[in-house]
Structure 1
């Protein structure tokens, strides 16, 4: 009897809560009896799912944070101090860099106003010891390269040339006097550097085929030739030029100061990628360089390769950053873009693309993390760096392609950022050694046979 009274009471309570006018209006549109019979036939699990689906339409669904670091490398692999620096750099990039990059990318111009602001972060020459440099780990440097490329690969490339290629050449191969003269000011970014190795007709064959020549005459060297694709060279204060000594046929490095007679730079135009980076075509015409401005410990291409080995790891991290920026942008887009009445992120095919992107990204991150650990342990080899460059630049292409795909037509609009990542991924794929050349470096290491010409 008590059970009957309880059901009557519940029915009465339900009846009081029903808006009769709405019920009457609904009865004119649908068969209420049929709906009630259908609901009555549901089991508890089905009924629970229905009620969850019919939850308050005004209740906003709480979504997980957008974070491309799926395995939490940033917040577990770094100590408290380095993690704070990483987040500081990220905040700077989001606030100061991200609002500017699309406009500058479109104009193919460089935001010079950002240089003193980047200098204040005190991250230039991050891993070097002394000369005002922070002396941090290579893992930390890789993380920051990723953070920069996550917002804009061009800015990451500018910084990589300054901190890695230019400063690295002096740090690894310069005399103590050269280090004292250049590195402290470069660390503060009061002096901007460039690195000139690639030539109009010589890219992959740089080890033995440089056409830029150097001839010693007394206390001076006379340089002749051309360099192409040289980042920062249109405004650099010092440019590292690699040339073949005509007397011993060995590659040597030279510090060319701004304004040096016989040194001319023409800005390269009409690039489809890394448009913010100011690449130059350098022409050296009987360019005189003092012996004291020759890198004193650069006596063959093997010495040049020491710099490339170090910076190639950084390029792999840049590829990670480019992929992460594309993935996070695409994920954010799919959660707000609606089709057929709901966010496209709720569709199975879109989720499959997102998971494929995240899988590639996570594999790249963990590979680069281990690569930087090897570097910190002094175990990094050419083949280690080359394998990372091959894999990461290849996988980045796949990630940015899928990011563009899930965004449909909007994926080719600059305002959504992914179009820029798609274009910049093509540059990453080629510079610091093509996929083919880096593959042959790894192939030689694992087979014992050199397949180079």
Structure 2
């Protein structure tokens, strides 16, 4: 033991030791375990050495994109053609959790690209559109983004004001969007707009070099700092009818895409909580104060047990949810409950880990503050915790409390 505690000595989060207390790995198939350990090894070797510097500077590690492509992790239970890899829902969740355990910005990059942009095309596009866009996106040769939220419409995105007007074989898009990840440098962005003719929401694939599209990076963020979120201006942005996703006829269709991503956000929360518990446990064992490791104190042990209990319950949530998806039994309200519970609990686990680390907890060297700050975004995006509670509350009570 030593009183001089370096970040390298304190945190060895690549092993994630002691974080599978209920032996849930025994419930995984051989392919799912392979995905878990492949992404875990990648995160330890490639993400961890570079991510803190990028997070601090607010830059994206573009050098990781071709390496992520080599992992062959683009695809899931719903998207397994056109060059996408068929992966079970649990396998997809494990990929998300392992990426998030290393850094949520990297996980969000994949989540926006695959879970939102590619899934929009997969779920709402024609066969011709899928064949055109998805193979190149599956290889990460082209990157996607997703523009739904507006400056004045977040939780009530159903009320979006961006307009689409048909002019012959083209559509003219006008409006503002805010927060799309990847939007500063993506190749394709899925833009949702209200048809001025029938007042229904339609979806369009807009290319980055369209003269009517501009994206300005949102600065001064204190969460998901590597994610290049943007303010979008659509000014007489002309797109062809071929760029309209043919199966998006109303906001109900948009909601189908969002329901699928909530499952992923729950898994991402588990990844952050896994990292937080591992960091706190390792630190407590190696941090010596008053002549003994702080892990020998009753107060610290109770905090660690509380963290482990919450982490284990989250793992059970997402594992069961994944199996329900694979069985075709997951409902929107199940996904909402998982997203609500896991994000709120994971944020709490990260806060407790920061307490365990004391003053060291506020430095990037010990990673935990990055996870805590990023959890603030997970609690909010893809529907805030409050909105998820209203969705589930309406289902269990039979009464809507939205207004």
TM-score, length of structure 2 as denominator length: 0.95
Tell me the CA shift for residue 96 of structure 1.
Answer: 0.4
- Please state if 1:423 is matched with 2:373: yes
**Contact 1:125 1:167 (C-alpha < 8 Å) held by counterparts:** no
Partner of residue 211, structure 2: 261
Q: Could you report, residue by residue, the CA deviation over 1:62-84 in whole angstroms, capped at 9, with x for unpaired residues?
A: xx9823121122x2122223212
Aligned equivalents of 1:241 and 1:285: distance in 2? 13
**Contact 1:66 1:331 (C-alpha < 8 Å) held by counterparts:** no
Partner of residue 384, structure 1: 334
Partner of residue 29, structure 1: none
What does residue range 306-345 of structure 1 map to in structure 2 within 5 Å? 306-345=256-295
What does residue range 225-374 of structure 1 map to in structure 2 within 5 Å? 225-374=175-324
Tell me the CA shift for residue 371 of structure 1.
Answer: 1.1
**Contact 2:35 2:91 (C-alpha < 8 Å) held by counterparts:** no
Partner of residue 375, structure 1: 325
Aligned residues between the structures: 388
**Contact 1:274 1:427 (C-alpha < 8 Å) held by counterparts:** yes
Over 3 Å counting, the alpha-carbon distance change for 1:429 and 1:177 in structure 2 is: same
Partner of residue 9, structure 2: none
Give the secondary-structure state (helix, strand or coil) at the position aligned to 1:420.
Answer: helix
- Please state if 1:143 is matched with 2:94: yes
Q: Could you report, residue by residue, the CA deviation over 1:40-60 in whole angstroms, capped at 9, with x for unpaired residues?
A: xxxxxxxxxxxxxxxxxxxxx
Partner of residue 412, structure 1: 362
Aligned equivalents of 2:331 and 2:250: distance in 1? 18
Aligned equivalents of 1:444 and 1:388: distance in 2? 16
Give the secondary-structure state (helix, strand or coil) at the position aligned to 1:297.
Answer: coil
Partner of residue 6, structure 2: none
Tell me the CA shift for residue 395 of structure 1.
Answer: 0.5
**Contact 1:66 1:332 (C-alpha < 8 Å) held by counterparts:** no
Aligned equivalents of 1:72 and 1:116: distance in 2? 33
When Rg is computed on C-alpha atoms for both structures, the one with the higher figure is 1
Q: Could you report, residue by residue, the CA deviation over 1:21-53 in whole angstroms, capped at 9, with x for unpaired residues?
A: xxxxxxxxxxxxxxxxxxxxxxxxxxxxxxxxx
**Contact 2:16 2:275 (C-alpha < 8 Å) held by counterparts:** no
Aligned equivalents of 1:156 and 1:442: distance in 2? 26
**Contact 2:307 2:352 (C-alpha < 8 Å) held by counterparts:** yes
Tell me the CA shift for residue 149 of structure 1.
Answer: 0.6
Partner of residue 91, structure 1: 41
Unmatched 5+ residue regions in structure 1? 1-63
Aligned equivalents of 2:48 and 2:88: distance in 1? 26
Unmatched 5+ residue regions in structure 2? 1-14
- Please state if 1:171 is matched with 2:85: no
Tell me the CA shift for residue 383 of structure 1.
Answer: 0.6
Q: Could you report, residue by residue, the CA deviation over 1:66-124 in whole angstroms, capped at 9, with x for unpaired residues?
A: 23121122x21222232122101100100000111100000000000000000000001
**Contact 2:16 2:278 (C-alpha < 8 Å) held by counterparts:** no
Give the secondary-structure state (helix, strand or coil) at the position aligned to 2:59.
Answer: coil
Aligned equivalents of 1:409 and 1:384: distance in 2? 38
Give the secondary-structure state (helix, strand or coil) at the position aligned to 1:242.
Answer: strand
Partner of residue 21, structure 1: none
Aligned equivalents of 1:287 and 1:272: distance in 2? 31
Aligned equivalents of 1:109 and 1:251: distance in 2? 33
Partner of residue 132, structure 1: 83
Give the structure, 1 or 2, with the largest relative contact order (CA under 8 Å, sep 6 or more). 2
Give the secondary-structure state (helix, strand or coil) at the position aligned to 2:43.
Answer: helix
Q: Could you report, residue by residue, the CA deviation over 1:147-167 in whole angstroms, capped at 9, with x for unpaired residues?
A: 111111111111100110011
Aligned equivalents of 1:125 and 1:281: distance in 2? 28
Aligned equivalents of 2:247 and 2:49: distance in 1? 42
- Please state if 1:185 is matched with 2:136: yes
Which has the higher mean CA deviation after the structures are superposed, 113-122 or 325-334? 325-334
